[in-house]
A and B are shown apart, each in its own frame.
Chain A
Amino acid sequence: MPAPVAPAESPAPLSGAPPQTVIAFQDVSISFEGNTVLDGISFSLERGETKALLGVAGSGKSTILKLTMGLVKPDRGQIWVLGQEVSAMKEEDLFELRRKIGMVFQESALFDSLTVRDNVAYRLIEEGVPEDRVQKRVEEALRFVEMEHTLNMFPGELSGGMRRRVAIARAIVDQPEIVLYDSPTGGLDPVTSTTIIELLVKQRDVYHNSSLLVSHRLQDAFTMATHYFDRGQNRMVPVDSAHIDTRTSFLVLRDAKVIFDGSAHELASNRDEYIREYIS
């Protein structure tokens, strides 16, 4: 099993860390009401890489995304995102950084009093983007997720899968450098789940963002690692590993610790009993 990324010696490695690193966790721990959720975890995400976070329910996968966003603060350790130490930043200073990150929440978290159009346009309106550009970019984002017909509908009128696609459109509307997906296929049927994963593959291969993907479904992560989006055919197709690297890696959590951090191939050939059982 490849060892997890070693914690850096000091905060300086941010500048000292490889310039392509967009997210770095260094010895991060957090507890909620006495329960240790993450205990000294370290890993990094490189520019253009997708990392699937796997683990049983309650293993701290979603907490990692919230820590990345600065929505919760770690009890210990350092978190660097796009060269800034979010674990040491004040809430007021984090808003600027968060505008460079898109996040798809577990239950979509669409604003239920706003239309689909206003939900997707939310970030652009807040940034004071002119109305004609807002409309153009909202339509582009909704077309990307094939939801342009829902422009004037409210979230309550959409199915679970449609809400998830609108949430993806909202997260990617201004093409953030990093996209965080929190169980984007959770609670969806297999067909809709595949549609969502295909969107994530499309997003990765068309826009080349870096992303963290939390998933309960191992097959979702493997699909991402073994498929790429073919623009000619306008669909995802199995990868020819000799020629294409999907740059998708895996991180497995167990008992608040990282027990695996590596590629799909390394995961599949891992001899650890727990991991063998998990992926079987």
Chain B
Amino acid sequence: MELISPTDWTKNLVLAIQEWTYLAARSIGNVFRQPRYVADTLQQADLIGVGSLPIVVLTGFFTGGVLALNAARTLEQYGSLSLTGQLVSISMVRELGPTLAGLMVAGRNASGMASELGSMKVTEQIDAMRALGTDPSKKLVTPRVVATIIMLFFLTIICDFFGLTGGFAVSALGLHLDAHQYWSNAYQSLEFGDVIIGLVKPLLFGFLVATIGCYYGLTSRGGTQGVGRATTQAVVAASIMILGVNYFTSQLLLYLLK
């Protein structure tokens, strides 16, 4: 394996960040410029939103369930089993819903975008598109970014709901908690700030997932092996960015909404 010097590694990293920033900025700027590819955006929304629905529903349901299961053990020691709904609700809405939905969409769609655009890149279809007078960032990137941001927002809400449902299923069937008590507790414990935190994050995560997936696809080189590498890197980078940004967003929003 060829070793790369720390200087070259740093230069490559800075260059990658610079190129990604440029691509991300253009993808947003294109929203305000003609032409707008509405049909492509709707097609991507279907692929990303509807396509990711089963995996997000299942992730939310089982995470809510296991959260209730684990929380109950601790809460029971303090005689506060009735607070299970509150714990599941806050955890899902503020942290786990956005993060898990983001990670699922990253795994499914950042890889899909990187491999699709990467294949187009190595077979010169991207150059052909440019040669035919079409801006690939408008035709390929912006529809994916807009669709991912919008659909991840709604997928997160669905993930939150099914997380609470999973928690309720465990609470009702396993812990024999009263349904009304669980749901009212879950609902009343949520504050405005919790909902805002939970709904701002998917907007950022959607932007990251789509721009990172597109960036790795459009910069892939080296044939099919290069496309495979780009796909893996896109998922890894998107996942790490989601977890990192999640922490800093939580910090910032908790401070601002205090």
Interface pair A126/B133, CB less than 8 Å apart: yes
Q: Does B128 contact A (CB under 8 A)?
A: yes
A84 vs chain B, min Cβ distance (A):
14
The digit string for B124-147, where 1 denotes a CB below 8 A from any CB of A, is: 110111111111000000000000
A109 is an interface residue with CB less than 8 A from chain B: yes
Q: Is the CB of A66 within 8 A of B127?
A: yes
Beta-carbon nearest neighbor of B134 in chain A? A126
B132 touches A98 (CB 8 A): yes
Check A112 for interface membership: any CB of B closer than 8 A: yes
In the bound complex, CA of A188 to CA of B97 (Å): 55
- A103 and B131 within 8 A (CB): yes
Q: Count contacts on A: residues with CB < 8 A to the other chain.
A: 24
Q: Do residues A92 and B128 form an inter-chain contact, with CB atoms below 8 A?
A: no
Pick the residue among B131, B132, B135 that contacts A92 (CB under 8 A): B135
Identity of the chain A residue whose Cβ is nearest the Cβ of B126 in the assembled complex: A109
A95 to B129, CA, bound (A): 10
| Contacting residues, chain B, for A92 (C-beta < 8 A) | 135
Interface residues of A in 103-121 (CB under 8 A from B): 103, 105-107, 109-112
Within the assembled complex, what's the spacing in Å between the Cα atoms of A127 and B132? 10
Let me know if A47 is at the binding interface, CB within 8 A: no
Q: How far is the CA of A110 from the CA of B129 in the complex (A)?
A: 9
B119's closest neighbor in chain A, by CB?
A112
Given A109-B123, A112-B123: A103 and B133 within 8 A (CB)?
A: no
**In contact, A107 and B123 (Cβ under 8 angstroms):** yes
Contact of A123 among B35, B123, B130, B133 (CB under 8 A): B133
A123 to B134, alpha carbons, bound, how many Å?
8
Number of interface residues of B (CB under 8 A): 14
Chain B minimum-CB-distance residue to A102: B131
Q: Which residues of A contact B35 (CB under 8 A)?
A: 126
Given A92-B135, A95-B135: A71 in contact with B130 (beta carbons within 8 A): yes
Q: Which residue of A lies closest to B133 (CB)?
A: A99
Query: Is B127's CB under 8 angstroms from A123's CB?
Result: no
A132 at the interface (CB under 8 A from B): no
Residues of A within 8 A of B132 (CB): 98-99, 122-123, 126, 170
Complex contact B131–A107 (CB within 8 A): no
Shortest distance from the beta carbon of A30 to any chain B beta carbon, whole Å: 16
Contact A71 B133 (CB under 8 A): no
B133 x A105 contact (CB < 8 A): no
Q: Which residues of A contact B124 (CB under 8 A)?
A: 105-107, 109
Chain A residues within 8 Å of B131, by CB:
69, 71, 98, 101, 103, 105
Q: Tell me if B128 and A111 are in contact (CB < 8 A).
A: yes
Contact A71–B127 (Cβ < 8 Å): yes
A96, CB-defined interface residue at 8 Å: yes
Contact with A along B95-127 (1 / 0, CB 8 A): 000000000000000000000000010011101
Report whether A111 and B125 are in contact in the complex, using a CB–CB cutoff of 8 Å. yes
Q: Residues of B contacting A111 with CB < 8 Å?
A: 120, 125, 128-129
Tell me the smallest distance from the CB of A57 to a CB of chain B, in Å. Answer: 17
Query: Which A residues between 183 and 225 are near B, CB-CB below 8 angstroms?
Result: none
Residues of A within 8 A of B134 (CB): 95, 122, 126
Compute how far the CA of A39 lies from the CA of B5 in the bound complex, rounded to whole angstroms: 30
B135 contacts which chain A residues (CB < 8 A)?
91-92, 95
A-side contacts of B129, CB under 8 Å: 111
Distance between Cα atoms of A133 and B87 in the complex (Å)? 62
> Smallest distance from the beta carbon of A106 to chain B beta carbons, Å?
7
- Enumerate chain B residues within 8 angstroms of A103, measured Cβ to Cβ: 128, 131
The minimal Cβ–Cβ distance linking B62 to chain A, given in whole angstroms, is 34
Q: What's the Cα separation between A92 and B136 when bound, in Å? A: 11
Neighbouring B residues of A94 by C-beta, 8 Å = 130
Q: In the complex, are the beta carbons of B128 and A98 less than 8 A apart? A: no
B123: chain A residues within 8 A (beta carbon): 107, 109, 112
Distance in angstroms from B94 CB to nearest chain A CB is: 40
Instruction: Give A103 to B124 CA distance when docked, in angstroms.
Output: 12
> Knowing that A92-B135, A123-B132 are A-B contacts, what are 18 other residue pairs whose CB atoms are under 8 Å apart, sorted by A's residue number?
A69-B130, A71-B127, A91-B135, A95-B135, A98-B130, A99-B132, A103-B131, A105-B124, A105-B128, A107-B123, A107-B124, A109-B123, A109-B124, A110-B125, A111-B125, A126-B132, A126-B134, A170-B132
A-B contact pairs, 8 of them (CB 8 A): A91-B135, A98-B132, A107-B124, A109-B124, A109-B128, A122-B132, A126-B35, A126-B134
Residues of A within 8 A of B (CB): 66, 69, 71, 91-92, 94-96, 98-99, 101, 103, 105-107, 109-112, 122-123, 126-127, 170
